[in-house]
Structure 1
Amino acid sequence: MFYPDEIVEEVREKNDIVDVISTFIKLNRRGSNYVGLCPFHNEKTPSFSVSQNKQMYYCFGCGAGGNVYTFIMEYENYTFPEAVKYLAERVGIVLPEAEYSEEAKRASDLRTRLFEVNKMAANYYYYQLTSEQGKTALEYLRKRELKEETIKKFGLGYSTKYSNDLYQYFKSKNYEDSLLRQTGLFTYDEARGVYDKFWNRVMFPILDVNNKVIGFGGRVMGEGAPKYLNSPETTVFDKSRNLFGLNFARLSRKRSILLCEGYMDVIALQQAGFQNAVASLGTAFTFQQANLLKRYADEVFITYDSDKAGVNAALRAIPILKEAGLSAKVIHMNPYKDPDEFIKALGESEFEKRIEKASNSFLFEVAVLERDFDFSDPEQKTNFYQETAKKLCRFSDELERNNYVEAVARKYMISQEDLKKLVNRYGASLSSFDTYEAKTRTEREKKSLKGTDGIKESQKILLTWLIEEPETYTKIRDIISDRDFKESLFQKVAKLLFQQFEQGERINPAAILDQFESKEEQKEIASLFHTGVKGDMNQIEKEKAFNDTVRRVKKHSLDWESRTATDMNELQRIIKEQSDLQKLHIFL
């Protein structure tokens, strides 16, 4: 599926990249760009840069980069046509009937057909649950006190004891193996043949926020292992970017989320009226999931199991939630193991009270830390205060840090002044270490620019310079051509950029990016367009830097040509240009 270039360009031009990205993450102005915490990896210091002038973004931490289409595709896990539709609707552009290339048609058809197979599988599992074969599974759900409407709401089902039941069902419907292999519902084994991924399990369909079935979780009936089994990742199922129950939770009017460990906890809480409950999908909570929650909530209540594994999982989730800009609190469910048990024992009103009394996430971390120390031993007590002081150094805002120092001092009976001195001491040592790290990192970066890396960097700098100061193109048009960029990717970029210059078009880096389909190429180009150029230079220093960059690029090109030249006339031309290059000076 594809749209005419002029439509793609119109949609992009009307969707300012800063406005679009600001709806997903918080951006702050810094000079001519905007910066924020990268939504594609875990970080504490903003390294995600958005250029309004170039209509591009780039993360100096993980290398993610692109234009507004790339961002929506990465953030929402959309295909390119889906990203065009989303952005067109955002600005009120009515799209024409889409055309299809063979490759795009196959990709679009595959996603459509996978959704179709998943939906059919969910209906099949639901049917089996209500049949004679599913009697035991249905009794299990009823013993867990699930109502009929809850079972229907979540589409719960049953995979029978026969290991190829679902496979035979789809083969009877004439579905080809080339498609079924990609669903994650079947295992293809040379020795055993084809068999169902799930059998003899209560089935939990996993839906995305648009209510499309993207995968499944299965709870074994009896003593089989593993107890819970989830679909593998497929074209439509990315565990790190989805949450069980979010399709219902996002409709809640509350700006808070109850984050659970298991599917049954979500179902039990939603049945009890807590519609804002979700769970991660059989893996550790991820930064992408935190960013997903950020769209629908400002505050997250962690309702993990009260055992050691649940406490450790909560400790891992807290910093992820905070880095995504979410307030995190922890609900205590003792003496019960999980929300499901708690609701059954004490009911909705008592759980509501636990929400109201939820612990501040930092104080929860300190309380967990406290368990490792014997306060009757002065040495251990001192060690506890030292470890707590280190944790307090995380708060960069002085007011917030002081408030936590006051709260910890009051709770653990230590002089506020003494604790503050301890925090300041550790803060100073950490600051010195960071300075050392930054210095050594700079030295490593300088060394890496030697040789081939240096030439590559010079080519990147020259292209970036031309974009940031288009008037410099007229200064070099007779000196540098796209063929002088010997890096294959840079040569393609230079050719497209020089075409814009020659045709008198507005310089549009974001449009250049659309000419490349490979994600790796797009990241490299985004990096190229965000290369540091001038720094803090006066006019003389700037002119020298520009001349040095042009000379390096041209010299490398001529050296390369001299090694491959076979014609004497060609060789003489190269020698003359090498000689002229030594005398070259471009006035800016």
Structure 2
Amino acid sequence: MFYPEDIVEEVRMKNDIVDVISTYVKLQRKGSSYFGLCPFHNEKSPSFSVSQSKQMYYCFGCGAGGNVFTFVMEYENYTFQEAIKYLADRVGVELPEIEYSAEARKQADLKTTILEINKQAANYFYYQLKSEIGKAAYGYLTTRELSDETIKKFGLGYSSKYSNELYQFLKDKGYSDEILKQTGLFNIDEKKGVYDKFWNRVIFPIMDVNNKVIGFGGRVMGEGSPKYLNSPETKVFDKSRNLYGLNFARTSRKNYLLLCEGYMDVIALHQAGFVNAVASLGTSLTEGHANLMKRYTEQVYITYDSDGAGIKAAQRAIPILKDVGMSVKIIDMKPYKDPDEFIKNLGATAYEERILNATSSFMFELEVMEYGYDMKDPESKSKFFQEVAKKVLEFEDDLTRDNYIGAVAEKYHTGYENLRQLVNRVGIKLGGMPVRDKEKINFHNAKPKDDAVLKSQRILITYLIEEEGLYDKIKQYITPDDFTESLYNMVACILFEQLEKNEVNPAKIINHFTDEEEHKLVAALFNTKPKFVESKSDKEKALHETIVRVKENSLIYKSSNLNSKDFVMEMQRLTEGKKMIEKLRTLHISLD
């Protein structure tokens, strides 16, 4: 449901952003803003700024930013509808009732009921673990060196050896067989009827990012098959789109995730202080998992088992993670099988060292590939380097390709130039582009050429918000059309309309955008200032240079994008623009 703009604005205005964020982050006032440690990345010095006047936040470290809705959406992983409901409830604003169709209401009610049942089942399993009935299961967990605090944190439980206890417990609560059959907690048999799916197992409740129990995993304590049993997919549980432990990991303030294979690995790592560990739910990694992780980080460290199956699983996971734009590294668990065994034997400090020395996914793939060649045999070794050259050619960027040629040459003790020439020959043979010579790579042009252009536009938008009266002094020279990037142009159009009415409201501008990434970009527009500006005269000079630069860049952009149909008219506009720039050069901008 889309709420009316006046309702959205009422909710936003009644939720002061400093008050809301203070419940999550410790803030300290410095000048006109508040600062604290950013909850979205790991930092030691506060770079997270909250402006009460703008009703916005912005992190100068990681670029996170937006209004109060953005913050709640990003921190709690809420949709916009969930965020507005949360904030409306917080300040007592009554939202219009959502009008569901009969079928939509039925489905929503079913999901709510299943979540209620799952919560009661999780509590029941936890109670069983702590009772005399669960003594053996509790003993199993303590022999795995899990503390009571960890057991409670993950809500671990026990399903008794009797196969109908949970069923009877929930039937006594008044739930019908029709509903219970849709929870995934029970099996249905013509002879046995309805009976518990999980029995005589340690139970791992599976929670979504909002800490709602959506399913369960069960592990046998001794011999038995299967070793792990998971809930089937239900109305609330899609194992290809959820990750075990993500409800904790998403707020860890680490800038990467540790990707494990199983529940116990995640739990062991969390107990050891690595609270950014997650695992897929009894299934191979999917694109859904990768996209879910991408919402929280750009980097993943795979910490799968060190055996053959674990290596193959890592090989399958790497391209899936890379396809969504993530950086991937591999942690070496040897001589132990998995993170759980590693932590128990070598401890957290040694594991931290393994993280620091993690291998890039590319070099890991070469190490695995190397097993298929006899590196002592010249012919086999040559074939290996032929395959290496093919893999290097997968990098489209020349600089990245060159960097990996250097890394491979160093690791395998071969000459850089020889390897570069081999890559070139293989590339030409395959019809690809040869690698450029190292000395021809221009390191100074790594950033886009228009970065300075866009920065000047961001600076001007920030000044227009912060400097009262500036708009009236420059509106005859600068228009929204002078902001050449589409998002900047949209923001400028809204801002100029607000300035014309003398109703500047940056936080309201963000409401015009629905994507969280757009919120971040818009917030950056309102928080960009030139460096090394201290005195009032320096500020006026910097502002004047910015205005001239924006107008000049606008003119250049328009001259390179002339409309042939209105060529004469556009040439006249360009001529007028050049005259305006000459006037701007002599204009004095006063901030009095």
- Structure 1 and Structure 2 fold alike (TM over 0.5): yes
- The answer to whether the 8 Å contact 1:389/1:426 transfers is yes
Deviation at 1:7, TM superposition (A): 7.5
Deviation at 1:97, TM superposition (A): 2.5
Instruction: Output the CA distance in 2 between the equivalents of 1:116 and 1:334.
Output: 43
Instruction: Output the CA distance in 1 between the equivalents of 2:141 and 2:344.
Output: 14
> Are 2:159 and 1:149 equivalent residues in the alignment?
no
Inter-CA distance 395–190: structure 2 relative to 1 (3 Å threshold): same
Deviation at 1:425, TM superposition (A): 3.8
> Are 2:226 and 1:229 equivalent residues in the alignment?
no
Deviation at 1:83, TM superposition (A): 6.3
> Are 2:377 and 1:370 equivalent residues in the alignment?
no
Deviation at 1:130, TM superposition (A): 1.1
- The within-5 A match list for 1:173-322 is 173-322=173-322
Deviation at 1:224, TM superposition (A): 1.3
Residue number in structure 2 paired with 1:496:
none
Residue number in structure 2 paired with 1:127:
127
Structure 1 residues 88-128: Cα deviation after superposition (integer angstroms, max 9, x where no partner):
88999984232343222211111111110100110111111
SS of the residue aligned with 1:155?
coil
Inter-CA distance 8–179: structure 2 relative to 1 (3 Å threshold): farther
Deviation at 1:428, TM superposition (A): 4.2
Task: Give 1:316's aligned amino acid.
Answer: R
Structure 1 residues 360-398: Cα deviation after superposition (integer angstroms, max 9, x where no partner):
221111111111111121221111111111111211111
Instruction: Output the CA distance in 1 between the equivalents of 2:290 and 2:225.
Output: 30
Residue number in structure 2 paired with 1:391:
391
Structure 1 residues 516-575: Cα deviation after superposition (integer angstroms, max 9, x where no partner):
xxxxxxxxxxxxxxxxxxxxxx99xxxxxxxxxxxxxxxxxxxxxxxxxxxxxxxxxxxx
Instruction: Output the CA distance in 2 between the equivalents of 1:345 and 1:372.
Output: 31
SS of the residue aligned with 2:161?
coil
Residue number in structure 1 paired with 2:167:
167
SS of the residue aligned with 2:162?
coil
Deviation at 1:145, TM superposition (A): 0.5
**Worse-matched range after superposition: 166-175 or 199-208:** 166-175
Inter-CA distance 369–158: structure 2 relative to 1 (3 Å threshold): same
Inter-CA distance 167–425: structure 2 relative to 1 (3 Å threshold): farther
TM-score normalised by the chain length of structure 2: 0.58
Instruction: Output the CA distance in 2 between the equivalents of 1:153 and 1:206.
Output: 12
Inter-CA distance 109–225: structure 2 relative to 1 (3 Å threshold): same
Residue number in structure 1 paired with 2:56:
none
- The within-5 A match list for 1:502-513 is none
SS of the residue aligned with 1:347?
helix
**Worse-matched range after superposition: 409-418 or 150-159:** 409-418
Instruction: Output the CA distance in 2 between the equivalents of 1:335 and 1:120.
Output: 41
TM-score normalised by the chain length of structure 1: 0.58
- The answer to whether the 8 Å contact 1:256/1:300 transfers is yes
Inter-CA distance 317–108: structure 2 relative to 1 (3 Å threshold): same
Deviation at 1:317, TM superposition (A): 1.4
Instruction: Output the CA distance in 1 between the equivalents of 2:162 and 2:85.
Output: 48
Inter-CA distance 430–86: structure 2 relative to 1 (3 Å threshold): farther
- The answer to whether the 8 Å contact 2:77/2:210 transfers is no
Instruction: Output the CA distance in 2 between the equivalents of 1:350 and 1:209.
Output: 29
Structure 1 residues 297-329: Cα deviation after superposition (integer angstroms, max 9, x where no partner):
232111111111111111111222222222211
Task: Give 1:334's aligned amino acid.
Answer: K
Instruction: Output the CA distance in 2 between the equivalents of 1:209 and 1:186.
Output: 25
Task: Give 1:208's aligned amino acid.
Answer: D
Residue number in structure 1 paired with 2:587:
none
- Extract unaligned runs of 5+ from structure 2: 10-75, 434-563, 566-592
- The answer to whether the 8 Å contact 1:3/1:99 transfers is no
> Are 2:425 and 1:419 equivalent residues in the alignment?
no
Instruction: Output the CA distance in 2 between the equivalents of 1:90 and 1:365.
Output: 47
Residue number in structure 1 paired with 2:437:
none
Task: Give 1:302's aligned amino acid.
Answer: I
Deviation at 1:169, TM superposition (A): 1.3
- The answer to whether the 8 Å contact 2:302/2:331 transfers is yes
Residue number in structure 2 paired with 1:542:
none
- The answer to whether the 8 Å contact 2:85/2:95 transfers is yes
- The within-5 A match list for 1:379-528 is 379-428=379-428, 430-431=430-431
SS of the residue aligned with 1:187?
strand
Residue number in structure 1 paired with 2:343:
343
Structure 1 residues 242-266: Cα deviation after superposition (integer angstroms, max 9, x where no partner):
1111111111111111111111111
Deviation at 1:429, TM superposition (A): 5.1
- The answer to whether the 8 Å contact 2:77/2:209 transfers is no
- The answer to whether the 8 Å contact 2:185/2:198 transfers is yes
Structure 1 residues 215-240: Cα deviation after superposition (integer angstroms, max 9, x where no partner):
11110122110001111111111111
Deviation at 1:331, TM superposition (A): 1.0
SS of the residue aligned with 1:217?
strand
- The answer to whether the 8 Å contact 2:7/2:95 transfers is no
Instruction: Output the CA distance in 2 between the equivalents of 1:88 and 1:266.
Output: 32
Instruction: Output the CA distance in 1 between the equivalents of 2:378 and 2:348.
Output: 43
**Worse-matched range after superposition: 305-314 or 186-195:** 186-195
Deviation at 1:413, TM superposition (A): 2.7
Deviation at 1:192, TM superposition (A): 2.9
Inter-CA distance 188–426: structure 2 relative to 1 (3 Å threshold): farther
Q: Percent identity?
A: 62
- The answer to whether the 8 Å contact 2:336/2:342 transfers is yes
> Are 2:115 and 1:115 equivalent residues in the alignment?
yes
Instruction: Output the CA distance in 1 between the equivalents of 2:7 and 2:321.
Output: 36
Instruction: Output the CA distance in 2 between the equivalents of 1:316 and 1:239.
Output: 17
- The answer to whether the 8 Å contact 2:156/2:202 transfers is yes
Deviation at 1:178, TM superposition (A): 1.4
Deviation at 1:339, TM superposition (A): 0.8
Inter-CA distance 213–429: structure 2 relative to 1 (3 Å threshold): farther
SS of the residue aligned with 1:400?
helix
